[in-house]
Amino acid sequence: MHIIPTTKQEWGRFVLFPFKAYTAVAFPCYLLFDHTHHSLLFRYTHVTDIVAACYLVSGVVLIIGGLIHKIAFKSPAASSDFVYGGMALVILFGVMPLFTPL
């Protein structure tokens, strides 16, 4: 078993992993922070903007990474990249506006 990626496909999955992890973990953590520190988010509303901007970056990077996996490597990992990229954009444009203060 090797720890360091050796092929281009493995490197692609390795590079995209933090974006997938952010997509899966950031929103539940944001909700937990919002629930436990409600007054802080109204004082520091830029937290929501930072989380939303990172979701935008993750979604775009994952979709571009999925295209690279699909076109260049013909890898089955492309479908998971597209799913995570789509989830990031759905959370960004569909769910995050519900939690932004007016």
Is position 52 within any domain?
A: yes
* Domain housing 89: 19-96
pTM for the whole structure: 0.83
The CA-based dihedral angle spanning residues 4, 11, 86, 36, taken in that order and rounded to the nearest 10 degrees? 30
- Dump pLDDT digits (tens) for 37-74: 665 555 656 777 888 899 999 999 999 999 998 998 88
Q: What's the token pair of residue 93?
A: 């444009």
In a domain, 11, yes or no: no
List the alpha helices (DSSP H) in the chain. 8-36, 38-43, 46-68, 77-90
The answer to the question of residue 3 being in a domain is no
- Residue-wise pLDDT for 69-79, tens only, equals 899 888 887 89
How many distinct structural domains can be found in the chain? 1
Residue 58 lies in a domain: yes
The distance in angstroms from the start CA to the end CA of the chain is: 52
Query: Does residue 8 lie within any of the structural domains?
Result: no
| Assigned domain for 14 exists | no
